[in-house]
Structure 1
């Protein structure tokens, strides 16, 4: 086993989980990055994976890999930067133990993230939301499950990973109905449920008792739905909804769009940005600022409060000659 393979083994078997306590999703993302990187290097260098060591891991090759992600694999700039973060994480941990490769590692760690324009978030308006929620056939088990899942997401703004990992014990009905989850950074939060959502969940849980397991939104054998499965179900219902709501055809709708929709609904209702940040499980309000940019109503209100260009500033003072002033009206 070469030095790079040993560094990877130490990072993923002990450091990532035992010392850093990284989430399973983060560890999986870091692992996949290194798998893709090593496969790319085997093709570029024409060697076996076991032959790739720190000597073959140059800043130029890593930069070429990042460009490959964008140009060949069609990844976004955000994905490119996330892959670079995964590479840095392992190399930062390996650097003290491999002083003979300090120069190589330092040059790779110095590769900057790529700047990108932040797009304005996309969300669904009321008509689009209603069309999407009406799409599932609630006379079937799958349709009822999908309708409940979509309605819960639009009301609570849970991330797709949080939705998939919910169990029946995370739903608390009755007085003070709410759903609890563990989100990014292992932050626990409780999100209140409206009366309509609570009633919907009550009916769904009555039907859910016929399925095995404790996963809230489960597959036919009681297993947890994958992220891809949830996105696939959304795509199926979007196809139906677009026949009744043509404006949906102009939008790229994902499960994260429903999270944005929840935030925009709260913002339109006058909820403070700090409260929305807590509602969504953001670490700080900077992540929530994007919703201010997306809300044209807030911008229009600000515009309406501005002084027209032809109005002189200052307090109003009536004309001294009241007769002349009345004549000028």
Structure 2
């Protein structure tokens, strides 16, 4: 029988559990793998243990806390990155406990480490005028411009994550009334969001000039026919952002990033009196407490949605599950 040592659990965690059982996305798995590479580098750098003699003892609370402080101070990682590394190690510990309860003592040390509280940053977003002007930048007479317009319009219209639009297949779009897009989000969860007739026509125009018709093919590809990368999407957005900024610096005070279209869509939904529960589902958030960060960006929106959320709970709470009730109550506790 194979001895179940530290390397055994690490191997099984990455080759079997994360993908096949937990259903984590490739990006999450890569992030978790990077965490372990960094952790092993730290262990070796400070001679805590030789790399060929790794054991469960390296997961002591002191080692993990020192590792987290090291990546934050020495490697200049953000608090958010620090917390992501901790989350990866905690996930591994939960897996080990499930596989071998005898290892729970040392794993519980890691699970007891609290995430570091990060300073809440204001969310940058574009107003409606800025979105409209940005979508006028691509050249609608060229194949590349038609593709780029379709990409930007769909990023904003659906409020999707960059990886979601990279992974989007031709068969994920339905041109029946109502027009919809099926997005595969974190944890391989699929959500269906509506798109307007105008954006639907933009997508149809793009697909009409495409040589790809297989429903399983990616919609957005580069000149080599390969799916766009995250940096490719960022390049396209910044290209047109820079063009727009030359004429309207007032609308684009800073460099654009792909997530800004997602933020903008969320803020515009809030400004149009869409409740947080719907926006949560639209964006694919697991909890409304994640969605509420958008209400904090605007004092007037914050005041309005605190009032509306309060009325929503007292008047229609019976239509929602216990989890949803708790989410809304938690939102109120944080903001009132």
| TM-score of the pair, normalised by structure 1 | 0.81
Residue 120 of structure 1, aligned match among 115, 119, 122: 122
Q: CA 1:293 to 1:102, structure 2 compared with 1: closer, same or farther past 3 Å?
A: closer
Separation in structure 1 between the aligned mates of residue 173 and residue 205 of structure 2, nearest angstrom: 13
Structure 1 residue 260 corresponds to structure 2 residue 294: no
The alpha carbon displacement at 1:47 in A equals 6.5
Separation in structure 2 between the aligned mates of residue 275 and residue 57 of structure 1, nearest angstrom: 41
- Aligned to 2:209, what secondary structure does the other structure show? helix
Counterpart residue number, 2:296? 293
- Aligned to 2:192, what secondary structure does the other structure show? strand
Contact 1:211 1:221 in 2 (8 A): no
Q: CA 1:232 to 1:52, structure 2 compared with 1: closer, same or farther past 3 Å?
A: farther
Separation in structure 2 between the aligned mates of residue 17 and residue 68 of structure 1, nearest angstrom: 29
Structure 1 residue 60 corresponds to structure 2 residue 59: no
Q: CA 1:171 to 1:76, structure 2 compared with 1: closer, same or farther past 3 Å?
A: same
The alpha carbon displacement at 1:217 in A equals 0.7
Q: CA 1:272 to 1:105, structure 2 compared with 1: closer, same or farther past 3 Å?
A: closer
TM-superposition CA deviations, 1:211-267 (whole Å, max 9, x none): 998211111222211222212322222222221221355335321111111111222
TM-superposition CA deviations, 1:261-282 (whole Å, max 9, x none): 1111222222222222222122
Contact 2:183 2:192 in 1 (8 A): yes
TM-superposition CA deviations, 1:2-32 (whole Å, max 9, x none): 9221110121122223333333332222112
Counterpart residue number, 1:327? none
Contact 2:146 2:205 in 1 (8 A): no
Counterpart residue number, 1:320? none
Which has the greater radius of gyration?
A: 1
**Structure 2 stretches lacking a partner, 5+ long:** 306-336
Residue 7 of structure 1, aligned match among 6, 9, 25: 9
Please give the residue correspondences for 1:210-221 in structure 2 after superposition, counting only pairs within 5 Å. Answer: 214-221=217-224
Separation in structure 2 between the aligned mates of residue 3 and residue 265 of structure 1, nearest angstrom: 52
Counterpart residue number, 1:38? 40
Q: CA 1:101 to 1:280, structure 2 compared with 1: closer, same or farther past 3 Å?
A: closer
Contact 1:2 1:53 in 2 (8 A): no
The alpha carbon displacement at 1:205 in A equals 0.7
Residue correspondences, number: 302
Counterpart residue number, 2:246? 243
Residue 280 of structure 1, aligned match among 279, 283, 286: 283
The alpha carbon displacement at 1:288 in A equals 1.8
- Aligned to 1:220, what secondary structure does the other structure show? coil
Q: CA 1:38 to 1:301, structure 2 compared with 1: closer, same or farther past 3 Å?
A: closer
Please give the residue correspondences for 1:172-191 in structure 2 after superposition, counting only pairs within 5 Å. Answer: 172-191=174-193
- Aligned to 1:45, what secondary structure does the other structure show? coil
Residue 196 of structure 1, aligned match among 177, 195, 198: 198
Counterpart residue number, 1:71? 73
Task: Tell me which moved more, 57-66 or 45-54.
Answer: 45-54
Q: CA 1:248 to 1:210, structure 2 compared with 1: closer, same or farther past 3 Å?
A: same
Please give the residue correspondences for 1:75-90 in structure 2 after superposition, counting only pairs within 5 Å. Answer: 75-90=77-92
Contact 2:130 2:252 in 1 (8 A): no
Counterpart residue number, 2:231? 228
Separation in structure 1 between the aligned mates of residue 99 and residue 49 of structure 2, nearest angstrom: 25
TM-superposition CA deviations, 1:283-319 (whole Å, max 9, x none): 23222212222235535879xxxxxxxxxxxxxxxxx
Counterpart residue number, 1:139? 141
